[in-house]
Amino acid sequence: MGDPIKEIGNQEDQRHIAKAIESLPEYFRNHIAIVSYPSYRILYLNPAAKRMLGLEAEEALIDTAWNTFLPTESRVEIEMAFCNLMPGGDWRGEICIQPFQGETFPAMALVNVSNFDDTEEKILTIICRDLTASKAAEEERKQIELQLNLARKMETVGRLTASIAHEFNTPMQCLLYDLEFMQSSTEQMATTLYSFWGKELPDKEKTSDENASVNTIQALEELVEDTRETFEQSRQNVENVTKIVAALKTFALSDKKGKTAGDINSMVEAIILICRQDWIQKIDLKTDLQTDLPQVDCHIDQINQVILNLLVNAIRSVVKRSEEDSDAEAMIQIRTRSTDSHVVIEIADTGVGIADDQHELIFQASFSSRKNGLGAGQGLALCRTIVEGNHYGKLSFSSELGEGATFRVDLPTN
C-alpha cells in the first residue's frame, strides 16, 4: 500500500490534505501518524512525529512498524485495544513511546480507524501529545502541595508549642527566683557561720578536741562550696530551659496579622537552641551576628522555617561528611550582616557539598537530596518560594562536592 495522501484525489487535493495536516494547531500536531493495521506499517508521519520518534531521514521509514516505538510490555495491551476497533470508531488513552534515541516518555493518544480501498486492512490515524512536561508539572504540584501540608502541620505544632511554652515558662521563672534566693541565703549563712567559727578558732597547738573543731570547720567549708556549685549548676540549667522556652515561643509566632518587624538575630539564636541536640556533641557551631542588624518586615514563622531548613541541611551534611571521614572538620558558621538595602543570612558548612550537575536541580520540588547523596534539599523548594515569592528576596548558594556549601538569604529591609 502506498502513501494514503498520494492515493487520495488529484495532486491539488493531495496538496490541500498535506497542508491541512501540517497547519494543524501545535496541540494536535505534536505527533500525527497514519499506519496500516495489523501490520503497523508507517504510511505517513508529520515532521513533529518524526522528531518525536527519532526518524529524521525519510529512508528510515522504510519497513518500519509503528508499534516498534512502543515498549515491549505495552504492545499486548495496545493490540487488545486496537483489534476491537471498527471502522469509524476511535480510542483514546495514555501510552508510552520509546524513540530510537532517548528515554521512554508518556503520551496521550487519540486513534481513529477507517477502511481503505475496500480492503480488509484498516487505517489507523494516530494523534499523540507528549505528556512529559505535564507529568513533571503534576509531580511538582504534588510536591509543593506536600510541602504546604508540612507547613500547615508546622503551624499546628507551633500553636501547641506556644501554649506549652507559656505553661512551662511560669513555673520555671518561679523556680529560677527560688534558686536565686536560696543561693543568696546560702552565701549569707556561710558568712555568718564563718564569722562565728572564726571567733572560736583554736590555735594549732591546742588539744585534740580543739583540732576536731578545725576539722568541723573544714567539713563545713567543703559543704558550703558544694552547695554553691549545686546552686550555680541548677541556676544555669533553669536559665537554659527558659532560653529554650523563649526560643520555642519565637519559633511559634504566627503571621495571622501579616508581615511584622522581625529580629533576624533572635530568630537565628532561637533556631540554634531548638536544634541544639542535633549538633551540640558533633559539630563546632559558630555565629557572627551583626549587633546593630536592622529589623526586617517579614512573615516571622516563614523565615523561621527557612532558617530551620537550611540549618538542618547543614547539620546533616556535616554529619554525613564526618561519617565518611572521621578526620574531616565538622563546623557550621552562621553569619548575619546588612547591606544598603538587605539583611543577609549566611549558613556555611564543611559538609559533603553539592556536585556541579546537581546545582540546577536542588530547588526543584521533586528533587530528593537523600536519594542523590547530597547534603542539601530539605525543603529548598519551599525555602525559595518563601524567600523569593513571598518576601521578594533571593536565595542562593555556592558549593563544590566534598568542600561544603554556603547558603545565602537576602531579605529586603524596605
Give the pLDDT confidence score for residue 314 in this predicted structure.
Answer: 92
Q: b/e string for 213-244 if b means 16 or more Cβ within 10 A?
A: eeeebeeeeeebeebeeebeebbeebeeebeb
What 8-state DSSP symbol labels residue 388? I
Q: What is the pLDDT of residues 98-147, one digit of tens each?
A: 888 778 888 888 888 887 656 677 888 888 888 888 887 777 777 776 66
Beta strands 394-399; 342-349: pairing state: unpaired
Q: Between the ranges 48-52, 170-174, 344-348, where is the mean pLDDT highest?
A: 344-348
Which is more confident, 389 or 203?
Answer: 389
382, containing H or E segment: helix 380-384
- Residue ranges and CATH numbers for the domains of the chain are 11-130 (3.30.450.20), 138-252 (no CATH), 254-414 (3.30.565.10)
Angle at 411 between CA 375 and CA 403, to 5 degrees: 25
pLDDT reading at 202 higher than 50: no
pLDDT the model gives residue 82: 82
The per-residue pLDDT for range 52-67, each reduced to its tens digit, is 887 765 555 656 788 8
How much is the average pLDDT of 325-350? 94
CB of 354 closer than 8 Å to CB of 376: yes
What are the Cα distances from residue 92, in Å, to 38, 72, 82, 129, 359?
18, 20, 10, 11, 39
Least confident of 7-11, 45-49, 83-87: 7-11
What's the mean pLDDT in 174-186?
A: 74
Shortest CA distance to 162 belongs to which of 33, 254, 252, 280?
252
Lookup: cell for 155: 503551624
Structure confidence at residue 350 (pLDDT): 94
Q: What is the CA radius of gyration of the chain?
A: 37
Where residue 254 falls among pLDDT bands split at 50, 70, 90?
low
Cell readout for 275 is 536544634
Helix axes 208-251, 300-324, angle to 10 degrees: 120
Count of C-beta atoms within a 10 Å radius of residue 87: 11
Q: How far apart are CA 99 and CA 108, in angstroms?
A: 15
Residue 204: the pLDDT is: 43
How would DSSP label each residue in 249-297? HHHT---TT--EEE-HHHHHHHHHHHTHHHHTTT-EEEEEE-TTPPPEE
In terms of pLDDT, which residue wins out, 23 or 297?
297
CB 33 within 8 A of CB 17: no
Are 111 and 85 in contact, with CB atoms under 8 Å apart? yes
| Alpha carbon distance 361, 247 (integer Å) | 33
Res 288: pLDDT: 96
- Strand order across the 394-399 sheet: 284-289, 331-338, 342-349, 405-412, 394-399
Q: In 88-207, which ranges are continuous DSSP H helix?
A: 132-199
pLDDT > 90: percent of the chain: 18
State the pLDDT at residue 5. Answer: 43
What local confidence, expressed as pLDDT, does residue 61 receive?
A: 61
Query: Where does 55-131 have alpha helices with state H?
Result: 72-83
Q: What is the pLDDT of residue 362?
A: 84
Model pLDDT for residues 214-227, shown as the tens digit of each residue? 566 676 677 677 77
With a cut of 50, say whether residue 4 has pLDDT above it: no
The predicted pLDDT at position 265 comes to 95
Q: Max alpha carbon distance in the chain (Å)? A: 139
| Among 118-132, 154-168, 326-340, the least confident range | 154-168
Q: What is the DSSP string of 40-63?
A: -BEEEE-HHHHHHHT--SGGGGTT
Averaged pLDDT for residues 173-189: 73
What average pLDDT does the chain have? 76
Q: Assess whether pLDDT exceeds 80 at residue 412.
A: yes
Collect all residues with Cβ–Cβ distance below 8 Å to 341 and sequence separation of at least 6. 412, 413, 414
Look up the pTM and report it: 0.49
Looking at residue 380, its pLDDT comes to 86
pLDDT grade, residue 159 (50/70/90)?
Answer: low
The whole-number pLDDT of residue 1 equals 42
pLDDT of 199 higher than 60:
no
What pLDDT does 8 receive? 42
Asked whether 399 and 354 are in contact (CB, 8 A), the reply is yes
Give the pLDDT band of residue 290 (cuts 50, 70, 90).
very high
